[in-house]
């Protein structure tokens, strides 16, 4: 499902976050990325999602070359990828309901099927009553659950989650953990989840990749 060869990432100051990483994730595999803040976990997820280009190296997802290449464009019509990044993810000019429906429209699903999927996903995360609101009118927890609902509606083959428990109270954490547990148990889903410490995912997710702190030397040619 995922093949990285000699992948290297740098931060905006030119420090190496990763150098020459080789990593493979089999279809249906579940992986936990850990490491200190600034180690490159979020950037690596964005590279896997095709929305950020690495400094160098080769990234193949679902048999499609993302980098070098066109990034997420290479996956259109070939692989469904659901992601919930720590910083936003919902389009500010659309209601929550419209945010969930948009990826399904790109897939060309019939309107009735889109409505069924969207409403079911909203109800599953308890957001049916606020579905008409735009992201700025939602609480932080509701926005996070909105991202998870979008994944539920999309029914993707690859799921990328960035620190999904950050800032959640006990009830919201329980809901998020239940959703992730169901995805982990599904052999048809490949999942990569990133957070600083393993926490409750230590035993839930069998494979771990630990990223170290940024390499202090600046980028060299």
Record the tokens describing residue 60, joined without a space: 């193949």
| Model confidence pLDDT, tens digit, residues 1-59 | 999 999 999 988 888 999 999 999 999 999 999 999 989 999 999 999 999 999 999 99
Does residue 219 carry a pLDDT above 80? no
DSSP 185: H
- 221 band by pLDDT with thresholds 50, 70 and 90: very low
Largest CA distance in the chain: 55
More confident residue, 12 or 144: 144
Does residue 217 carry a pLDDT above 70? no
Q: Where are the domains of the chain?
A: 1-79+157-221, 92-155
3-state secondary structure the chain: CEEEEEEEEECCCCEEEEEEEEEEECCCCEEEEECCCCCCHHHHHHHHCCCCCCCEEEEEECCEEEECCCHHHHHCCCCCEEEECCCCCCCCCCCHHHHHHHHHHHCCCCHHHHHHHHHHHHHHCCCHHHCCCCHHHCCHHHHHHHHHHHHHHHCCCEEEEECCCCCCCHHHHHHHHHHHHHHHHCCCCEEEEECCCCHHHCCCCCEEEECCCCEEEECCC
Average pLDDT of span 138-148: 94
Contact between 95 and 134 (Cβ < 8 Å) = yes
> In the predicted model, what is the mean pLDDT of the chain?
93
| Model confidence pLDDT, tens digit, residues 189-199 | 999 999 999 99
Superfamily of domain 1-79+157-221 in CATH is: P-loop containing nucleotide triphosphate hydrolases (3.40.50.300)
pTM of the model: 0.94
Does residue 63 carry a pLDDT above 90? yes
Contacts with 214 (C-beta within 8 Å, 6 or more apart), sequence order: 11, 15, 16, 17, 38, 39, 40
Record the tokens describing residue 38, joined without a space: 């600034």
| Model confidence pLDDT, tens digit, residues 74-102 | 998 899 999 998 767 899 999 999 999 99
Does residue 201 carry a pLDDT above 70? yes
């Amino acid at each position: 499902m995922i093949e990285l060869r000699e992948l290297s990432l740098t931060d905006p100051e030119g420090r190496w976050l990763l150098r020459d990483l080789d990593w493979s994730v089999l279809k249906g595999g579940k992986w936990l990325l850990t490491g200190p803040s600034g180690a490159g976990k979020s950037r690596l997820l964005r590279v896997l999602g095709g929305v950020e280009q690495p400094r160098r190296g080769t990234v193949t997802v679902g048999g499609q070359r993302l980098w070098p290449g066109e990034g997420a464009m290479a996956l259109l019509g070939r692989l469904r990828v659901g992601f919930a990044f720590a910083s936003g993810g919902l389009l500010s000019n659309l209601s929550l309901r419209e945010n969930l429906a948009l990826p399904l429209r790109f897939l060309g699903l019939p309107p009735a099927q889109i409505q069924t999927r969207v409403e079911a996903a909203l109800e599953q995360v308890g957001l049916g009553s606020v579905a008409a609101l735009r992201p700025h009118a939602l609480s932080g927890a509701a926005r996070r659950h909105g991202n998870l609902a979008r994944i539920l509606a999309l029914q993707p083959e690859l799921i990328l989650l960035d620190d999904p428990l950050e800032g959640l109270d006990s009830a919201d954490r329980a809901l998020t953990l239940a959703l992730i547990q169901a995805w982990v148990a599904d052999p048809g889903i490949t999942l990569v989840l990133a957070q600083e410490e393993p926490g409750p995912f230590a035993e839930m997710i069998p494979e771990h990749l630990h990223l170290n702190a940024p390499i202090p030397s600046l980028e060299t040619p």
